[in-house]
Amino acid sequence: MSLWEYKVITSGKGGFASPALLEKYLNDLGREEWEIVTFQPQPDNLLAFSGLVRRSTQRDWSLEDAITTAAKAEAEKLRAEFAAKFQAATAPAPAAEERPASFLEEKAAPDDGFRKPIDTSSDADPDAPEEEKDEWDKLTEENELPTFFDALKPHMRRNQRGPGMSVGVDFLAKRWELSEEDVKGALVECGMQIPADENAPPVYVEYDGDLFWVNINRRGELWINTREKPRPVFRVVQGTRVASDAAPASAEPAAGKPANEGTPAAPAEATGTEAAPAEHPTHRKHKAATAGEPLPSGPALLDRIRPHMRRNRREPGGSGSTSFLSRALRCTEADLVAAFKTLGLVVPEAAADQPVYVEIGPDLWWLNLDSRGGLWINGKEKPAGESAAPAPTAAQLAPAPASAAAPAPVLAAVRLLLQETKTGAVAGRTDRVAEKLGKPVEEFIAALVGAGLKVPEKAREKPVFVEHAGEIFWLNKNAKDELWLNAKASKYADKAEPGEKKPAGRGKKKPEPKE
């Protein structure tokens, strides 16, 4: 009748870190002669399980076991007889020779095929004394410990910044109940190198087909990383370059095939020392139709790029980047920008610059820069009653006498350079508007003052309004002492003549007499 001992096995709540560790654990159970009775994995994690194993406490005898036991007993008997003879020869007085029966009995007793049962009654008692181990168990205890690399894997988690897995040194020290210096010492003994700073290149160590290395982050924390060693998929060989004159001019057709089937046609001309690759006939036709053609000028250029533009996402109309359009037209980006400048389009210096609109035919066109510095061309239909005024000349910006027609040239020129605000008006900082016009700020402000506007001395000063084309214009200063030009629809458009000054403030007060 067989006697069995049982043991409950489990992988813990999180399970094993990899299938290799699970396989090693089951192999260790097999080497210890444990037999799996039940094995229940978790449905959401196949590496987490619980089960029951058993093994027999009495080994079945075989012929080989009997021979081995007899040989051990004979060897112990000869060793005991030799020791007795040597002791009798060296002793000063003969002593009664005693046969060491107890010695043979003690040594032969463990080999009788019966394994001593293990007392499991106090396994659940945390205060129970530990079972004493014999010398043989103490010698083999250290060899049964896992290696440093195998002990790391159950604690590693997926690396969030790259391939493989990683674990912190401070976390290992807490889990193993060791100091961080002990863990660092183990790293050095295993061949890994601790970097000096976060910019130091990693030093890799290979173990069991995996690469291990240590890195330090910007907070000074040490991390141990591992990933599978890359496997080579090819080897590099040196090819032989073939010159065009070394290639045969023509090739004989293969037997049973036409001359134009299975043999690529040789190139008609070779301009270099290397053979040119074959080109598809459709590609050659398209390249011959577009390569080398100069860019059209005038409105024909806009008609050429219009099919390649896409719908503008921020406002009506279409837009297209010069980098994409230059590839579509098979020209350089510099040549395309130069062609845009011949149309009068202005290239902005910064992304925040206000666009300069140019009227070409029934549409308005302008250039702008995106946040990455890319240049875009934009176009839209001209709204009814609106036109793009050209940049003012020096005569228009010069101070003019106070008259009814004086503000018209200056205010009409800068109206399209103002940007719409949240309140429904339009505004622009005077230094930016002057920079787009290519004029000094002082000269531009003098022209606005000559048109009837007044520069306020402080932020809360009441402005002076000047009407033009159904809108009123005024200057104001903000809390940062920046001077802004503003415009909005006038409430007095049907009651006053163009160029007439309006009273300060927002009510319908009479104009204050000027000194």
pLDDT classification of 411: cutoffs 50, 70, 90: confident
Q: Rounded to 5 degrees, what are φ and ψ at 453?
A: -80, 160
pLDDT digits over 325-347, tens only? 999 888 999 989 988 888 888 89
Q: Which two tokens stand for residue 403?
A: 């008259």
Confidence (pLDDT) at 407: 47
pLDDT in tens, 227-269: 988 888 888 888 888 887 654 544 444 444 444 444 444 333 3
Contact 16, 154 (CB under 8 A): yes
Which pLDDT band holds residue 270 (cuts at 50, 70, 90)? very low
Report d(CA 222, CA 184) in Å as an integer: 9
Query: How many whole angstroms from its chain centre is CA 514?
Result: 67
Q: Residues 16, 25: contact at Cβ < 8 Å?
A: yes
* pLDDT beyond 80 at 417: yes
- pLDDT, the chain, mean: 76
Hey, which residues does 168 pair with through a beta bridge? 223
> pTM of the entire structure?
0.26
**Backbone φ/ψ region at 272: left (φ over 0), alpha (ψ -120 to 50), beta:** beta
Q: How many residues does the chain have?
A: 515
E runs forming strands in 218-352: 222-228, 310-311, 318-321
Beta carbons within 8 Å of 244's beta carbon, 6+ residues apart: 267, 270, 272, 273, 274, 275
- Predicted confidence (pLDDT) at residue 389 exceeds the cutoff of 60: no
Residues 298-307 as b/e (b if ≥16 CB within 10 A, e otherwise) read eeebbeebee
Share of the chain above pLDDT 70, in %: 70
- Which conformational region is residue 427 in: left (phi greater than 0), alpha (psi within -120 to 50 degrees), or beta? beta
Residue 266's nearest CA partner among 288, 284, 251 is 251
Q: Which of 298, 299, 320, 314 is nearest to 362 (CA)?
A: 299
